[in-house]
Structure 1
Amino acid sequence: MLSLESTDEKTSDCLYSAIESVAKSICNFDSEIIGAGSWWFDIREIMPGQENLLWNKIHAFRFDAWKCMEDYYGIKITWHNETIAEKLLAVIYKELEEKRPVLVYINSHFCPWHPRKHEYNAHFCLVVGFEKKSRSFICMDVNLNRFEERLSVELFLKGCGPYITFSKTNKLYKSINWKAIIGSTINHLGINTKHNSFILMRKLAYELEREIDDLKDGVPSWIENPIPLVSKVGLLQKGRNYFSITLEFLAKQYNVKKLISISNRLKQAARQWRVVSFLAIKCQLNRDDRNSLIRIPEKIIEIADFEEHIALDLIKLLEEHG
């Protein structure tokens, strides 16, 4: 069975925690870099099978951490979408023979140690070994602080999904390029493109306003069922908090003091997104609370303005440093 590092408290996400644990076992990995590129907002076509709700069109989270891990730490991460059981198992067995863990998706309903196993929730854990006698995988669940848990192959195949493999590469840079990490994030925000994140935030707000006006005294579907809104806003919060951690790390490592204040402002933006969720829940509990309902699109416009100023200050900082 493989032995891996536990993580610190900076990441509370099952996927991130597991990746961080593997990275720390391979090299002297700086966990703060995990938030690279996570500040994002986009509106795109919905995936097949989703309800045609505006909030389902929001793409709230992305990150460059995997590229950074390969460039600066020599850790290559590969995402697989294999669905054929025999091929999936063959890859896992091979990786374990090579003393490499596999990060697997397992629905919480089929995860015996998961506290929400009576529900159907996305979850990730590390497969670090195999017990032939019981035909069970030995799993390490960093996020739940569970180690050497057994998961039968039969149960695994019922709840499995995508998986991630890890490998080492010798092609890496000697030091982290902090300007490249920030520049990549700015590019993803699309300041000068049709996918300008801040224009799209305002577009979202205007569409919400229009829907509220059209319904007059009615309640929008995203208040009747606020789960899509709350889940996407949660990802927006996470992306901003994670990137703020990365900025703070870069500020200290490379003595770029202005990044500290920008990091703090990004944390403030995350808190403002939480207000949007609060307002939505408040409206669901009190359908007559028209003021809170109207406040939701207004708040999103405020956040768009606030975040746009942060992005422009980052661009200015990059220009100052050539």
Structure 2
Amino acid sequence: MKLDIKFISDDAYNCIEMIFASLALYWKKNFELIGAESWGFTYKSSDVSLEIPFGEKIDCAINYKNDYLEKYHGIQVTFREANNYIDIVEAIKEKLKDDTPVCIYIDTYWCPWFVGYYKKIHSAHYCLVTGIDESNNLFCKDALAKDGEWLSLDHFSKGFKEYIDFRNLENYTKCYWKEIVRDATLRLKDKHKSLNVFDEMRLFAKDLRENLHLSKEVRGYEDRPFQAKIYKKLFNISRGRKVFSKALLYVSDEYRVSELKVLADLINKAGNKWSGIFGMLCKSYYIKDNKDLINRIVEKIKDVADEEEIIADTIIELCMNESFNISYYDIENVMDTSIQLSEFKYINLSEYMNNIGFSDGTLDNCKAEISSEGRFFLINGLPINNLWMIDNMKFMFPNTGNNKLDNISCMGQNIKLDICNYRYVMVLGCAELGNHSEKMLVEFEDGYKEEIPLEFTSWLSCNRSFNEVVAWEGKGAVRTNTGIKTYPFSVYLYAKGYQLKNNSKIYNIQLPLCPNIHVFAITLGR
């Protein structure tokens, strides 16, 4: 017995939220208001002891609104404890007969398709049971098993805990969107607190610059540092903003509030900036002299605090007055890829390359590592021709293999150019450890300087965060103690182009200080 349910995978959601999204699609409903209070942040600055790590002091402050899910979307969610796995199996059988899947808890230690965790690491995970066989093995779906994987009854019996059952309600109500959105935002500027959320962010940034010791933050997690609390908290801070953005988009579409689309986009961008903060702090753990990178992280936190406070004030103004001024909204000069360019200049980046992203995975001394902990692109499947044509953008892809440097991990490099007059800048690359949004500086002969975005989605994600073009889809791998393991999912390179505002000649392009962004090729066009 199997239910035909399409599993929704989205970087913004955790494992339970993806299940809610998949169930809502199956029942032809919405669910987004569950994230109406997912925009948050707390910092316990009163914990002044330097012995208390920042991972204990910050929190994402996400408040899931299960009552909204039931009241406004007609999906009732009930968490149920179970004393034995047989009770859960029987409940699953009954629910499946009623055309309803069940969400189960499973310890990743007993989840065979979780490469790197299976029989190694205990952690909480939820998946959606859409089928069961005669031996009571469970057919499960999640982000790593979108098409489904069988979980044996034996494994389930060793890793079970609780389960979630659902009811499809016929009666549910429209929401008072202004009240929901206003209250969700006002909680960030609680006048009863000495500091609002945005002031807490700024104080966190100040203290981080003065007192951060990553060795203390990852104590006890040295073998898997990114499981430390500070990394998990920052990741969820990023995610919460993206989930709130989706709630705003739902309200915008459902109640025809076009202004909320702009605000949702800004909140989503803030989420991507927190994703960048998370990833850069991950990278800092592996860089011995990381002072400049930490300072950059601190400035990013202060910047996003300022931006988020403006967004919050704007949302409150909209809910109170039904109008708002959003003149600060920046429109990017994104290249129109339908334009046929007549000339391309491929920038030679070889002298600036400092990273090996690709390998065939067979070398005993393989040094490829596009991302920390031995992860890399597999050469298999790369085009034979190094000249790539992607939506009217062209790139000269570097030679790869045999431990050749093939990309730039951005550390503020200045790319010196023969003085030339071009109108478009095209970049081929990806990000690692999150999605990253930075600026690169284009300098012109007449002294004019122009900042243009340099932003890429993670190489592990198929959900593009910055409307890039997928330039290449292939396979990735990771080095382990037992050899090279190929990922069961695709990995990606992306391309994006920008039109320059200035018409004078270019002589330099300065890359940002963000080692999480990897540039494989840059092309100028006209």
**Alignment TM-score > 0.5, same fold:** yes
Equivalent residues in 2 for 1:48-197, closer than 5 Å = 52-60=52-60, 62-64=62-64, 66-82=66-82, 84-85=84-85, 88-89=88-89, 91-96=91-96, 98-118=98-118, 119-120=120-121, 121-132=123-134, 134-141=135-142, 144-147=145-148, 149-173=149-173, 175-194=174-193, 196-197=196-197
1:249 aligned onto 2:274: no
Q: CA deviation at 1:61?
A: 5.3
Cross-structure match for 1:296: 297
Deviates more, 1:296-305 or 1:233-242: 296-305
Q: Secondary structure at the match of 1:189?
A: helix
Contact 1:248-1:263 at 8 Å conserved across structures: yes
Cross-structure match for 2:25: 24
Relative to structure 1, the CA distance from residue 9 to residue 123 in structure 2 (aligned partners, 3 Å threshold; closer, same or farther) is closer
User: What is the distance in 2 between the residues matched to 1:104 and 1:44?
Assistant: 34
Runs of 4+ in 1 over 6 A off after TM superposition: none
User: What is the distance in 2 between the residues matched to 1:29 and 1:97?
Assistant: 21
Cross-structure match for 2:40: 40
Q: CA deviation at 1:136?
A: 1.9
Relative to structure 1, the CA distance from residue 284 to residue 130 in structure 2 (aligned partners, 3 Å threshold; closer, same or farther) is closer
Cross-structure match for 1:215: none
Q: What are the Cα deviations for residues 230-276 of structure 1, in whole angstroms up to 9, with x where unaligned?
A: 32222111111222222233223323222122122212212221332
Contact 2:54-2:230 at 8 Å conserved across structures: no
Contact 2:3-2:101 at 8 Å conserved across structures: no
Letter in 2 for 1:314: I
Cross-structure match for 2:217: 222
User: What is the distance in 1 between the residues matched to 2:214 and 2:155?
Assistant: 42
Cross-structure match for 1:48: none
Q: CA deviation at 1:53?
A: 2.5
1:275 aligned onto 2:276: yes
Letter in 1 for 2:185: I
Q: Secondary structure at the match of 2:112?
A: coil
Q: Which structure 1 residue ranges, 5 or more long, are not aligned?
A: 46-50, 213-217
Cross-structure match for 2:232: 231
Q: CA deviation at 1:153?
A: 2.4
Cross-structure match for 2:286: 285
Q: CA deviation at 1:86?
A: 5.5
Contact 1:138-1:150 at 8 Å conserved across structures: yes
Q: CA deviation at 1:76?
A: 0.7
Q: Secondary structure at the match of 1:135?
A: coil
User: What is the distance in 1 between the residues matched to 2:215 and 2:117?
Assistant: 32
Relative to structure 1, the CA distance from residue 6 to residue 63 in structure 2 (aligned partners, 3 Å threshold; closer, same or farther) is farther
Give the % identical residues: 27
Once superposed, what is the RMSD of the aligned Cα atoms? 3.3
Contact 2:38-2:243 at 8 Å conserved across structures: yes
Contact 1:109-1:116 at 8 Å conserved across structures: no
User: What is the distance in 2 between the residues matched to 1:155 and 1:52?
Assistant: 38
Q: CA deviation at 1:311?
A: 1.0
Contact 2:78-2:165 at 8 Å conserved across structures: yes
Q: What are the Cα deviations for residues 90-138 of structure 1, in whole angstroms up to 9, with x where unaligned?
A: 5445544555321012123312334445343433212234334x23223
Higher RCO (CA < 8 A, seq sep 6+)? 1
Q: What are the Cα deviations for residues 136-165 of structure 1, in whole angstroms up to 9, with x where unaligned?
A: 223344652123x33222211212233211
User: What is the distance in 1 between the residues matched to 2:158 and 2:43?
Assistant: 33
TM-score, structure 2 normalization: 0.52
Contact 2:9-2:143 at 8 Å conserved across structures: no
Letter in 1 for 2:129: V
Contact 2:30-2:73 at 8 Å conserved across structures: no
Letter in 1 for 2:269: Q
Contact 1:61-1:235 at 8 Å conserved across structures: no
Contact 1:223-1:280 at 8 Å conserved across structures: no
Relative to structure 1, the CA distance from residue 144 to residue 180 in structure 2 (aligned partners, 3 Å threshold; closer, same or farther) is farther
Relative to structure 1, the CA distance from residue 207 to residue 162 in structure 2 (aligned partners, 3 Å threshold; closer, same or farther) is farther
Q: CA deviation at 1:77?
A: 0.7
Letter in 1 for 2:266: R
The structure where strand makes up a greater share of residues is 2
Contact 2:201-2:305 at 8 Å conserved across structures: yes
User: What is the distance in 1 between the residues matched to 2:9 and 2:176?
Assistant: 25
Relative to structure 1, the CA distance from residue 283 to residue 152 in structure 2 (aligned partners, 3 Å threshold; closer, same or farther) is closer
TM-score, structure 1 normalization: 0.80
Q: Secondary structure at the match of 1:79?
A: strand
Q: What are the Cα deviations for residues 302-322 of structure 1, in whole angstroms up to 9, with x where unaligned?
A: 322221221111111110139
Contact 2:85-2:160 at 8 Å conserved across structures: no
Letter in 1 for 2:80: H
The structure where helix makes up a greater share of residues is 1
